[in-house]
A and B are shown apart, each in its own frame.
Chain A
Amino acid sequence: MAAITLENLSKNFGAFAALKELNLEVRDREFVALLGPSGCGKTTTMNLISGLLHPSVGRILFDTRDVTPIPMDRRGVGFVFQNYAIFTHMTVRQNLAFGLRVRRLPPSEINRRVGAIAEMMQLTKLLDSRTDKLSVNILQRIAIGRSAIVEPAIFLLDEPLSNVDAAFRQVMRTELKTLQRQFKQTMVYVTHDQLEAMTMADRIAVLDQGILQQVGSPLEIYNHPRNVFVARFIGSPGMNLLNGRLSAENGQTFVDLGPAGRTDALPSGLARAAERAQSANVLVGVRPEDLECVDGATESGLTLVVSFVERIGHRTVVHLGAGAQSAKMTAHSTFVAALGSALRLRARAAGLRLFDRSSGLALTLE
């Protein structure tokens, strides 16, 4: 069993608060991705879990054991650094064997396990090569193998694929997940690439400026962002957020978007959630793929002017604006729109979200 509990974890460097009151639970054998922009505290969190840093406030528990006072050479946590930190003066074999060697295992045992790991990471042919001139892809496999060979229950990876070429990244992602299942490890994975997080993680923890924004499954985070930051950060491009005012008419709730027009009547669930709003000023969230063109004139609907058309192969991203607001829409690759033309759009009801403008929090029924 190797669950991780981060209890009220804070880390300050002088006056700078890198991490603020983080409460997070990682279940046994779960794959959790720590996602967020640079400086959000994800690497700090990793360092705290591994013992490289000592928390200013809070505790870290592995299962029920408080490991906060335990020094990092005794926590039994595997860690792959972003730059791998391969022992460049040693051969591949010596790198892999390192963890076992310092545990004074008998040489026969060491050789056996090194062979097994090398087999698994496809390094067998390179076992006796020097490591100082190998390619990044190989170094990464060595780094993983070196940490995995001591069979830690908890495995931390800090942006391990950011240095790997794009073509290889997909392969490595699959390999990492296979490894995790095979070794039955709890994995915490830091990345700034949300695609990676979305495809690999069981759950994603989104951080910004040291504060946990939301924890949930990829789908949950995508479809139900808890605040404006998560809404914008997740998705490529992120969720559109338009300023609006709630207005009621005939028992239905609408959002008036100023020069952009007016939404359709809000679905009942959303309308009831809207009642919780502190003021009528809200942000309407709708993902670019949930915007569609409508023909003809309808009463409600949005009108936005095309400012730029971005063709990215299989789809087109249309940049739109109305007054001070801006939005993006994704459309089929064959979509055509003239620059400066006004498009009539509507947002699919299921894709509508509301956020309180002052707090940034999502307006939901829970």
Chain B
Amino acid sequence: MTIAQSPIDFAAPGLSTQPAALNADERATRRLGTYLTLPTQILLAFIVIFPLLMELYISLSSWTPLDGRNWLYAYRYWAGLDNYWELISNARFWQSIGRTLFIMVVCVPVELLLGLGLALLFAGEFRGKRLFYSIMLMPMMVVPAVAGYMFFMLFQSGGPINNILSTLSGGAVSIAWLSRPNLALAAVMIADIWQWTPLMFLILLAGLLGVPEDQLRMATLLGAGPWWRFRLIVLPRIRAILLIALAIRTIEIFKVFDTLYIMTTGGPGVSTETISVYIYKVTMEDLQWSYVAAIALVILVVLSALAAPAIKRFAPAR
């Protein structure tokens, strides 16, 4: 049993600083570090390297599970870059991307603004704050699949939402939300906004609390009303947090599946088919796995290329 040194202890004075020669303690420490991270590295490789290679391989063929043979034999069905050409020219694919981007462009800003509004409402002390805060967080803690079902029920022709609209408008409202393309899309977006605005609220409230109260008081003493305080003091200081919230939500919404699929299964038709739903359908219904592999690879490459510089800027790897 050796006594390991802390890695920040430098070599004892008197020893020359030879970078190549690590003493026994330092080597033991290095080894320990490697052992600690080994399981994770293995799992990571497992989930990254194998899939990538597999997908690369499969995507260059026209193999599907229907062919009866194991995927390893995909080379028998060599297809070169066919799947990639298909990808480029497939209208349905691009429409699903467009739809996903549309949802992103509408929902994320709305969630951000509503979340900011809620955070401003909740900043400061008032009676019942803790309870209200907990209730306000509930939507985002609901299992997304269950939320999907909730909104499925809510948007039924004879369901509560139409009921409320009827009460408000005086007449009988019986909109068939989930059977009309544009309305289904709207319903899906409403569900997303309902579920994830609280997340923006959570993050932005934490950000607001970081604004120094003293500076706000000082600003008020100098004659600044609420709007000036917000514009000149609060907003500049929560800029970074706004960006973080924006990034997180944008990434997640690109992956949206659970809630949406349970609400509409991508329908009516393909009117709510996002990229994840599209991939799912092509995988499970059409079974065109080699085509899907190509799509998957392209998505992975594009996302990596987009994400890496952004991450490097936000969190410089220590």
Interface residues of A (CB under 8 A from B): 50-52, 72-74, 77-79, 81, 83, 85-90, 98-99, 101-103, 146-147, 150
Q: Report A215 CB to chain B, min CB distance, Å.
A: 26
Please give the distance in Å from A293's CB to the nearest CB on chain B: 53
The answer to whether B218 and A89 touch across the interface, beta carbons within 8 angstroms, is no
Contact, CB under 8 Å: A73 / B220: yes
Q: Which residues of A contact B218 (CB under 8 A)?
A: 79, 81, 85, 87
Candidates A85, A86, A87, A99; contact of B223 at CB < 8 Å: A99
* Chain B residues within an 8 Å CB radius of A98: 219, 222, 224, 232
B214 within 8 A of A: yes
Determine if B36 is an interface residue (Cβ-Cβ < 8 Å): no
Given A89-B237, A98-B232, decide whether A52 and B217 contact each other with a Cβ distance below 8 A.
Answer: yes
Q: A102-B228, A147-B222 are in contact. List 20 more A-B contacts (CB 8 A).
A: A50-B221, A52-B217, A73-B224, A74-B223, A78-B221, A81-B218, A83-B214, A86-B215, A87-B233, A88-B215, A90-B232, A90-B236, A102-B219, A102-B222, A102-B224, A102-B225, A103-B223, A146-B222, A150-B222, A150-B223
Supply 24 A–B pairs (Cβ within 8 Å), ascending by A.
Answer: A51-B221, A73-B220, A73-B221, A73-B223, A74-B223, A77-B221, A81-B217, A81-B218, A83-B214, A85-B212, A85-B217, A85-B218, A86-B215, A87-B215, A87-B232, A87-B233, A88-B215, A90-B232, A98-B232, A101-B232, A102-B223, A147-B222, A150-B222, A150-B223
How far apart sit A83 and B213, CA to CA, in the bound complex (Å)?
A: 12
User: What B residues does A72 contact at CB under 8 A?
Assistant: 220-221
Q: Which residues of A contact B225 (CB under 8 A)?
A: 73, 102
Closest 8 CB pairs of A and B: A85-B214, A99-B222, A85-B218, A102-B224, A102-B228, A73-B220, A89-B236, A85-B215
A52 to B224, CA, bound (A): 14
Q: Please report the C-alpha to C-alpha distance between residue A73 and residue B216 in the assembled complex, in whole angstroms.
A: 11
- Min C-beta distance of A29 to chain B, whole Å: 21
User: Could you say which residues of chain A place their CB within 8 Å of the CB of B219?
Assistant: 87, 98, 102
What is the bound-complex CA distance between A43 and B228, given in angstroms? 27
Query: Which B residues from 173 to 221 make CB contacts under 8 A with A?
Result: 212, 214-215, 217-221
Closest to B235 in A: A89
Bound-complex Cα distance A77 to B237 (A): 26
User: Looking across the interface, which residue of chain B has its beta carbon closest to that of A149?
Assistant: B222
B residues sitting closer than 8 Å to A (CB atoms) are 212, 214-215, 217-225, 228, 232-233, 236-237
Closest chain B residue, CB of each to CB of A73: B220
Contacts of A150 in B (CB 8 A): 222-223
Min Cβ gap B248→A in Å is 23
A102 and B224 CA atoms in complex are apart in Å by 6
Query: Which residues of chain B come closer than 8 Å to A77, judged between CB atoms?
Result: 221
- In the assembled complex, the Cα of A261 lies from the Cα of B214 at a distance in Å of 56
**B221 CB, nearest partner CB in chain A, Å:** 5
**Min CB–CB distance A327 → chain B (angstroms):** 44
Give bound CA distance, A182 to B89, whole Å. Answer: 78
By the criterion CB–CB under 8 Å, are B214 and A81 in contact? yes
A146–B225 CA distance with the chains assembled, in angstroms: 17
* A320 to B233 alpha-carbon distance, docked (Å): 57
List the B side residues contacting A89 at CB < 8 Å. Answer: 236-237
Inside 8 A of A73's CB, which chain B residues have their CB?
Answer: 220-221, 223-225
Min Cβ gap A91→B in Å is 12
Considering only CB atoms, which chain B residue lies closest to A52 in the complex? B217
With A89-B236, A102-B228 as contacts: A79 and B223 at CB distance below 8 Å? no
Q: How far is the CB of B242 from chain A (nearest CB, A)?
A: 14
In whole angstroms, what is the CA distance A73 to B229 when docked? 11
Q: What residues on A are CB-neighbors of B215 within 8 Å?
A: 85-88
B48 to chain A, nearest CB (A): 40
Contacts of A74 in B (CB 8 A): 223
Residue numbers in B under 8 Å from A79 (CB-CB)? 218, 221
**Distance (whole angstroms) from the CB of A117 to the closest CB of chain B:** 13
Q: Closest residue to B212 on the A side, CB-wise?
A: A85
Q: Which residues of A contact B223 (CB under 8 A)?
A: 73-74, 99, 102-103, 150
With the chains together, A81 CA to B222 CA distance in Å?
12
Query: Taking CB as reference atom, which chain A residue is nearest B237?
Result: A89
The CA-CA distance from A81 to B219 in the complex, in Å, is 12
Most buried by B among A73, A77, A79: A73
Report the bound CA distance from A151 to B283 in whole Å.
73
Chain A residues with Cβ under 8 A from B217's Cβ? 52, 81, 85
B-chain residues with CB within 8 Å of residue A103 when the two chains form the complex = 223
Cβ of A90: which chain B residues have Cβ within 8 Å of it? Answer: 232, 236
- Which residue of A has the minimal Cβ distance to B225? A73
Chain B min CB distance to A312 (Å): 37
Complex: chain A residue closest to B236, CB-CB: A89
Min CB–CB distance A172 → chain B (angstroms): 20
Nearest residue (CB) in A for B211 is A89
Contacts of A87 in B (CB 8 A): 215, 218-219, 232-233
Please name all residues of chain B whose beta carbon is closer than 8 Å to the beta carbon of A50 when the two chains form the complex: 221
Q: Which residues of B contact A99 (CB under 8 A)?
A: 222-223
Which residues of A sit under 8 angstroms from B228, Cβ to Cβ?
102
Q: Which residues of A contact B212 (CB under 8 A)?
A: 85
A72 vs B218: C-alpha distance when bound (angstroms): 10
Complex: how many Å from CA A87 to CA B233? 8
Give chain A nearest CB distance to B178 CB in angstroms.
Answer: 47
